Structure 1
Amino acid sequence: MISLSTLLNPPEGLTLSEILVISLILGMLHGATPDEHTWPITFSYAVGKYSSKEGMKAGFLFSLGFTIQRAFLTTLGFIGLATIYEKYNLDGPVYTIVGIVMAIAGSYILKGRYLHLPIDVLFKSKHHSTKTSGVELYDIPLKMTIVHGLIAGFGFGAYASIITFVLAPQLPSIVYAPLPGLMFGIGTMIMQMIFGAMFGNILRTKRLTEEEMSYVARKTAGRVLYYGGLVFTMVGLLIIAFPVIDNFAISTGNPIPNLDAIDIGFLLVLSVVGIIGISSIILGIKEATRLSRTNRKSANFSAYKKS
């Protein structure tokens, strides 16, 4: 059995199978711990689809894009080109771009347009909307999660450092270079599908009609993506302007990355999933209940007039 110490500090001289197993387990740890590059996106799309099946699909598609990028990253690590991450802090630019894409997706759900960018043409998506409780809300293709995954994969943390700078260079040839990233992505995918199913099932625990659930789900997804995207963008721009901000961290004493400190990444997850996500669900339920009550009164009034 592989110890936690071996996972987080892999020794030299590992076999190919050992490298792949460690990469897979690290990916599962990455997907299971609150990571700012995964949880906000999976949560938003999974809640927006309000079903375990669609939530798993959201987690799968996001992780698919993430896995492709991670395979590319470990290839760069093998040939020595990933040193750019040691020279430059890319957190600011990645947060900014991720935030912009989130806001674009949220804008579509809430307003029916991608902030005037032709992303719907890129994905050949139809302009699909549904009137829920008299309010028109728009659905978004889950294919957008692949774009989020590709972009988020450029984010760099402790797990990425291990597979890129410790495991990838130990591979026998460049032919195997993408494999640690691939296994890491699959590990992340497994956990994100599980959490996606859980997130997608949240609204099923509430006593809501199908119409009310649809309203709350889309409103929540739109708000989390839009306002969460603005938060990501502002934090990214602040880090670009003042890089020292990214060094903020309060140790928790836990050795597992993503749980080892209260830092910018953890605060982003807390802000987007915790604060914006939960408050959006609560607000959405209140709005849906109020709209349903108003619609019922209008229907009763119309029936009374006809009689």
Structure 2
Amino acid sequence: MFSLNTLLNPPDNLSVGEIILISLILGMLHGVTPDEHTWPITFSYAIGKYSTKGGMKAGFLFSLGFTIQRAFLTTIGFLGLAAIYNQYNLDGPVYAVVGIVMAIAGSYILKGKYIHLPIDALFKSKQHTEEAGKVKDIPIKMTIVHGLVAGFGFGAYATIITFVLAPQLPSVVYAPLPGLFFGLGTMVMQIIFGMIFGNILRLKKMTEEQLSFIARKTAGRVLYYGGLVFLIVGLLIIVLPAIDNFAISTGNPIPNLDAINIGFLLVISVVGVIGISSILYGFREAKRLAKHI
């Protein structure tokens, strides 16, 4: 088995089989570490389905879109067309687009097919019991779109498969393989995390109707408000690129765990702060609505 140093700094003259195996392992590392392009989306949709099957489906569909994009990325890496990532910082635009897609999905779940600013829904809900059923179901197929968009994000793992592994392949026919297997590795871990996220609400005994209401509300709020956070951060990076260079080293060599940076803070903000507060608020809201039945 490859050492961590070999995985993060692959040597030259690797065989196709070795490149595939390293890509797969890197994908699993990517999927298990807190990544701003994967965790917020998988968490939102998985918890919205509040079940093992639903959570696994959310992780699978998101990773499917992500895998398709990664296969494309390593192909252009082999062809030498990925140099744009070395010339320009695309984090800002990618964050902004991801935020817009998240906000659109969250807005659909909360109020319908339009974007608004439902601040009252987060802090002081004025809904009545009969309105609870109006919360939209989770558009889980949208996770594929999220995966395709998020795949354009570029970090340490993408650098390795695009600029180190892909160019070593013997022909363009093999070029999609590092991205494909990297995506599959990510998929395995996202399905597992989706299963875990999808069962969080089951830890508290409530009726199926209450769980459905809390799940949809939580997913909608995390996607909507998390999307706004992504959009704001993306716009700030576009205007002030130096912000993206913020990082406090943790001493851990594994990417996504090696520093407290913008990406890590996005994960904590969306999954940790917005996600957990939305779940707790949802429990209180569901109990309040139940009293009016």
* Same-fold status (TM-score > 0.5): yes
Q: Which residue of 2 aligns with 1:66?
A: 66
Offset of residue 285 of structure 1: 0.3
Q: How far does residue 290 in structure 1 lie from its aligned partner after superposition?
A: 1.0
How many Å apart are 1:112 and its aligned residue?
A: 1.4
What TM-score, normalized to structure 1?
0.90
Please give the alpha-carbon distance, in whole angstroms, between the structure 1 residues aligned to 2:69 and 2:29.
18
Q: Deviations over 1:18-54 (max 9, x none)?
A: 0000000000000000000000000000000000101
Counterpart residue identity of residue 89, structure 1? N
Does residue 115 of structure 1 match 2:115? Answer: yes
Select which of 189, 192, 210 maps to 1:191.
189
Task: Measure the CA separation in 1 of the matches of 2:129 and 2:205.
Answer: 17
- 2:213: which partner in 1? 215
Specify the alignment match of 1:283 in structure 2: 281
Q: Residue deviations 1:224-282, cap 9 Å, x none?
A: 00000000000000000000000000000000000000000000000000000000000
3-state SS of 1:262 partner: strand
Following superposition, the deviation at residue 115 of structure 1 comes to 3.1
CA contact (8 A) 2:225 2:274 kept: yes
**What does residue 37 of structure 2 align with?**
37
Q: Is the 8 A contact 1:133 1:211 kept in 2?
A: no
Q: Distance in 2 between matches of 1:87 and 1:132?
A: 54
Residue 47 of structure 2 contacts residue 55 of structure 2 at CA under 8 Å; is this kept in 1? yes
Kept after mapping to 2: 8 A contact 1:105/1:114: no
Q: Please say which structure displays the higher CA radius of gyration.
A: 1
Provide the secondary structure at the position in 2 that maps to 1:72: helix
Q: Say if 1:35 and 1:64 are closer, same or farther in 2 by CA, change over 3 A.
A: same
**Partner of 2:15 in structure 1?**
15
Say if 2:61 is the partner of 1:55: no
Structure 1 moving runs of 4+ over 4 Å: 131-134
**1:207 CA displacement:** 1.3
Alpha-carbon offset, residue 142 of structure 1: 1.2
Q: Measured at CA, do residues 286 and 133 of structure 1 come closer, stay the same or move farther in structure 2, by a change above 3 Å?
A: farther
The letter for the 2-side match of 1:15 is: S
Who is 1:242 aligned against?
A: 240
1:204 CA drift (Å):
0.6
Asked if the contact 1:132–1:215 (Cα under 8 Å) also holds between the matched residues in 2, the reply is no
- CA distance in structure 1 between the aligned counterparts of 2:279 and 2:16, rounded to whole angstroms: 46
The residue that corresponds to 2:5 in the other structure is 5
Is contact 2:77–2:162 with CA below 8 Å preserved after alignment? Answer: yes
Q: Measured at CA, do residues 132 and 269 of structure 1 come closer, stay the same or move farther in structure 2, by a change above 3 Å?
A: farther
Q: Using the TM superposition, give the Cα deviation of residue 208 of structure 1 relative to its aligned residue in structure 2, in angstroms.
A: 1.0
Instruction: Structure 2 unaligned segments of length 5 or more: list them.
Output: 117-127
How far 1:132 sits from its partner (Å)? Answer: 7.4
Q: CA deviation at 1:134?
A: 4.3
Alpha-carbon offset, residue 140 of structure 1: 2.9
State the number of aligned residues: 281
Let me know the Cα RMSD of the aligned residues: 1.2
Corresponding position: 1:272 with 2:278: no
Letter in 1 for 2:14: L
Alignment of 1:42-191 (within 5 A): 42-115=42-115, 134-135=131-132, 136-191=134-189
* Matched letter for residue 13 of structure 1: N
Paired residues of 2:76 and 2:82 also in contact (CA < 8 A):
yes
Cα distance in structure 1, aligned partners of 2:129 and 2:269:
28
